[in-house]
């Protein structure tokens, strides 16, 4: 039995997607007092929820994207996260599953431009949806740390290479 008060004793799974439209990917920019950072749209998988259904739900919530309007999601990368963070509860270990799908410009034109992330106190934090050339991902403060893998793609459809990315730890990441 694990002790929930011990850091990384709980494991969460997060599904995220690189939604491509041509050479651009949709990223969510969050502006904080310590600086801005980017994340691919996605979120935690609920207890008992199918992974692809979680991805479908998150893309609908954050981008207003109906996954039926995109190519079937392709699992590209897996990244383990064990990073300490501020807050009253010990940090969970998180496994990030990063998928890829493609949409048309017509679908892109209908998507959200702002996403609101609900905070524990009931308020929300806005995130700006930015479309960025995928080759520039390595230069962005992107979390999880998938920027180098994304930028290394020869084309938006290229084979993603090795699926297991280096872990995110306190040694290579500082919580924003």
Every domain of the chain and the residues it spans: 11-153
pLDDT at 119: 79
| Digitized pLDDT (tens) for each residue of the chain, 176 residues in all | 556 667 677 889 999 999 999 999 999 999 988 889 999 999 999 999 999 999 999 999 999 999 999 999 999 999 999 888 777 777 888 999 999 999 999 999 999 999 998 877 888 889 999 999 999 999 999 999 999 999 999 999 999 999 999 999 888 887 76
Neighbours of 34 (CB within 10 A): 9
Bridge partners of residue 97, in order along the sequence? 15, 78
Q: What topology is assigned to 11-153 in CATH?
A: Nucleoside Triphosphate Pyrophosphohydrolase (3.90.79)
pLDDT at 92: 82
φ, ψ for residue 59 (rounded to 5)? -65, -35
């Amino acid at each position: 039995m694990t002790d929930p008060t011990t850091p990384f004793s709980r494991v969460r799974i997060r599904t995220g997607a690189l939604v491509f439209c041509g050479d651009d990917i949709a990223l969510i920019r969050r502006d904080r007092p310590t600086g801005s950072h980017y994340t691919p749209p996605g979120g935690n998988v609920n207890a008992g929820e199918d992974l692809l259904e979680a991805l479908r739900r998150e893309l609908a919530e954050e981008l207003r994207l109906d996954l039926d309007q995109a190519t079937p999601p392709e699992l590209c990368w897996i990244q383990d996260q064990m990073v300490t963070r501020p807050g009253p509860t010990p940090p969970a270990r998180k496994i990030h599953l990063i998928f890829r799908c493609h949409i048309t410009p017509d679908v892109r034109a209908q998507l959200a431009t702002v996403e609101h992330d609900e905070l524990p106190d009931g308020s929300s934090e806005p995130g700006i949806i930015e479309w960025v050339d995928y080759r520039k991902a390595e230069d962005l403060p992107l979390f999880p740390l998938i920027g180098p893998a994304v930028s290394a793609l020869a084309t938006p459809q290229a084979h993603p290479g090795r699926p297991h990315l280096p872990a995110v730890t306190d040694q290579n990441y500082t919580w924003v």
